[in-house]
Amino acid sequence: MREVNWVDKSLRLNDGIELASRIWTPKGNGSWPALLMRQPYGREIASTITYSHPEWWASKGYMVVIQDVRGQGSSSGIFKGFSQEPKDTSETHQWVRSLKECNGKLGLYGFSYQGLTQLTGTKDSKPPDCLSPAMTGIDLKNHWSSDGGAFWWNNNIAWGLQIAALKMKRENNSLGWEEIISALENKSYLRKGLALLKKYDPNNFVLEWHKNINHDNDFLEIKLISSWLKKPMLIIGGLWDPHLRGAFDLYQKSKAAGGNPDIIIGDATHLNWWEGSQKTLLNFFDTHLKSDKEVKEKNFSKHKKIWNLSLKKWEPIEEGKVQKYKFGLESNGTANTEVTDGSLLLNSKGSGWFSIVNDPWRPSQGEGGHLGPTPGMFDRYIFDTRLDVGVFQTNSLQKDLQISGIPTLETSVKCDQKSFDICLALSMVNEKEKTVNQFSTGFLRVKNSKKNEKCECKIEMHPTNILLLKGSKLRLSISAAAYPAIGINSGSSDNNNGAPTINHKIITLSFELSKTFMKMNPFFN
């Protein structure tokens, strides 16, 4: 192993706050291009759950700086989430470039929170030379906290408690830390999570998101800087990552600003990436941070690609390309009791109706996909045998069928309550129908509707890319809950949409299938 050195250093900000960093450098004297990650989880970890250790990056000729953001790790101050980052980011950039170990070149890396810190700076600050935001979003409501207005229950409660546990560690509150970690381990966080956040971390941003989910204007606006969006950028996303829409939106904003970003969407969850991701990232940095023209020409070519889930290979992302077909839905009223009744009709108009009931005592389950507790491909065969799930599927396909883009369902529905959820799942049924492999999910929360009156709804599902092979079937499953991925709708217009309570109402949905169809929308608007 190539030897590297590391040292801890602090930056005193203009307001007196000190930010702690750990810096790794190649052995020997010299100056190198810098890679910077600003994160809230502890600089010693350095996001090694998804990235190679800083020692590896340093062995490749980089100075690596991992910084604890304000109020986290060994940095002073109070952690306030994304709102604190722009000024701190820009001051950190200036400081890193001033260090004698840095040759003036600066690249940014990191995923999730660390992905968004790359995009937040002050307008008057010098842009980084390149950046690589991964598994992140730029809209706190639609990329971080909800799908179709439905709050990410499992993901956000668990993440909020992780932040609260870090606060307990800073305060040396072992009892609080133990109570939080126990709730996560025994899964009682699904019921007690909000109360624990209010008890131990009342200013936690997840609590704010939950309170503001019904109000668009109460979410912090992330202001992107045009000059930064024009810099070389490698956007990394995952087909099972909850922030995937954010990757596509960031790509569009960079293009609109005059940039020419790369985008790679792999077979990845938020935490588990594909083999070869580190090499691709290294090639990107070598291209834009090292002056050797031969290295640039050899290592990196423009990437705009997405993984095909069934063919297990990379395919190009083609902007504006989308399949022109539609699927109609047909049922005689028993799509939730007989698999053979619900039909998914390619390029044909649907007909009929069906009704489902959401009983909060035993809600329909939400697993796999981008929001389930165990994300990824999921066999939902057992889920689809429930009578609170409507099932619509094609006949055996006579030829291969490409599903690439954003599946979107439009429907007309009546409900006996003011508020309700529509939860969708798309699956590939194998030839013998022994497995139902779910590959995309979607959610919509309707609030303040008129009871027993028609409501026109549009539900966008998670972006996907899969080839359904000849002989297989495409299945659409419809339910009124997907717990614990999404909190249970209370049936009223309040914000009591989480674990079932005594006040949760039974909800009945009736769908008019002559006004229901599914089509594909492109990845980019």
Residue 323 or residue 284, greater confidence: 284
Domain boundary among 193, 218, 243: 218
Q: Which two tokens stand for residue 170?
A: 């800073």
Q: List the CATH number of the domain containing 90.
A: 3.40.50.1820
Give pLDDT, residue 340: 83
Q: Which two tokens stand for residue 356?
A: 């489902």
Q: Based on the domain organization, do 306 and 336 belong to the same domain?
A: no
Q: Which two tokens stand for residue 451?
A: 């009871």
Q: Is 100 exposed, middle or buried (0-12, 13-18, 19+ CB in 10 A)?
A: exposed
**pLDDT category, 325, cuts 50, 70, 90?**
confident
Average pLDDT over residues 313-333: 89
Give pLDDT, residue 448: 85
N-to-C CA span, the chain? 47
**pLDDT category, 412, cuts 50, 70, 90?**
very high
Bridge partners (DSSP) of residue 488 are: 498
Average pLDDT over residues 97-103: 97
SS3 of 242-271: CCHHHHHHHHHHHHHCCCCCEEEEECCCCC
Is the pLDDT at 294 greater than 70, yes or no?
no
Decide if 321 is inside a domain.
Answer: no
Count of the separate structural domains present in the chain: 3
How far is Cα 485 from Cα 228, in angstroms, rounded to an integer? 34
- The percent of residues above 70 in pLDDT, for the chain, comes to 98
Q: Of 138, 185, 139, 142, whose CA–CA distance to 162 is shortest?
A: 185
* Residue 208 neighbours by CB distance under 10 Å: 17
Decide if 344 is inside a domain.
Answer: yes
Q: Based on the domain organization, do 9 and 129 belong to the same domain?
A: yes
Average pLDDT over residues 37-47: 97
8-state DSSP, 233: B
* Residue 33 neighbours by CB distance under 10 Å: 21
How far is Cα 34 from Cα 326, in angstroms, rounded to an integer? 50
Handedness of CA 165, 169, 170, 172 (dihedral sign): positive
Q: In terms of residue numbers, what domain contains 81?
A: 4-138+222-316
Domain boundary among 202, 218, 234: 218
**pLDDT category, 30, cuts 50, 70, 90?**
confident
**Angle, alpha carbons 14-207-168 (nearest 5°):** 65
Q: Based on the domain organization, do 248 and 350 belong to the same domain?
A: no
Give pLDDT, residue 259: 96
Residue 494: partners with Cβ closer than 8 Å, 6 or more residues away:
none
Rounded to 5 degrees, φ, ψ at 290 are -115, 140
Q: Which two tokens stand for residue 260?
A: 């020419």
How far is Cα 67 from Cα 115, in angstroms, rounded to an integer? 13
Average pLDDT over residues 248-269: 97
Tokens 């470039």 label which residue? 97
Q: Which two tokens stand for residue 63?
A: 């100075």
Decide if 424 is inside a domain.
Answer: yes
Q: Based on the domain organization, do 409 and 382 belong to the same domain?
A: yes
Strand 326-332 relative to strand 351-358: parallel, antiparallel, unpaired?
parallel
Distances from the Cα of 9 to the Cαs of 100, 108, 158, 339, in angstroms? 13, 18, 32, 63
Ramachandran category for residue 68: left, alpha or beta (phi over 0 → left; psi -120 to 50 → alpha): beta
372 with 503: CB under 8 angstroms? no
Q: Which two tokens stand for residue 413?
A: 């529905």
How far is Cα 305 from Cα 308, in angstroms, rounded to an integer? 10
Lowest model confidence (mean pLDDT) among 166-175, 252-261, 334-343, 396-405: 334-343
Q: Based on the domain organization, do 335 and 254 belong to the same domain?
A: no
Give pLDDT, residue 300: 52
How far is Cα 413 from Cα 454, in angstroms, rounded to an integer? 5
Decide if 29 is inside a domain.
Answer: yes
Q: Based on the domain organization, do 121 and 186 belong to the same domain?
A: no
Average pLDDT over residues 9-37: 96
Q: Which amino acid is at 304?
A: K
How far is Cα 470 from Cα 339, in angstroms, rounded to an integer? 20
**pLDDT category, 339, cuts 50, 70, 90?**
confident
Q: Which two tokens stand for residue 212?
A: 């503001």
In tens, the pLDDT along 184-196 reads 999 999 999 999 9
Give me the chain's average pLDDT, please.
94
Is the pLDDT at 299 greater than 90, yes or no?
no
Average pLDDT over residues 471-484: 96
Decide if 250 is inside a domain.
Answer: yes
Q: Based on the domain organization, do 8 and 88 belong to the same domain?
A: yes
51 with 41: CB under 8 angstroms? no
Q: Which two tokens stand for residue 152?
A: 């990410």
Q: Based on the domain organization, do 421 and 291 belong to the same domain?
A: no
Tokens 């590297």 label which residue? 4
Q: Based on the domain organization, do 280 and 412 belong to the same domain?
A: no
Strand 304-308 relative to strand 262-266: parallel, antiparallel, unpaired?
parallel
Give pLDDT, residue 183: 98
Q: Based on the domain organization, do 305 and 382 belong to the same domain?
A: no
Domain boundary among 288, 316, 344: 316
Is the pLDDT at 253 greater than 80, yes or no?
yes
Give pLDDT, residue 293: 52
Q: Based on the domain organization, do 278 and 408 belong to the same domain?
A: no
How far is Cα 14 from Cα 299, in angstroms, rounded to an integer? 40
459 with 424: CB under 8 angstroms? yes
Q: List the CATH number of the domain containing 477.
A: 2.60.120.260
Give pLDDT, residue 298: 53
How far is Cα 65 from Cα 46, in angstroms, rounded to an integer? 9
453 with 460: CB under 8 angstroms? no
Q: Based on the domain organization, do 88 and 164 belong to the same domain?
A: no
In tens, the pLDDT along 352-405 reads 999 999 999 999 999 999 999 999 999 999 999 999 999 999 999 999 999 999
* CA 95 to the chain's CA centroid: 31
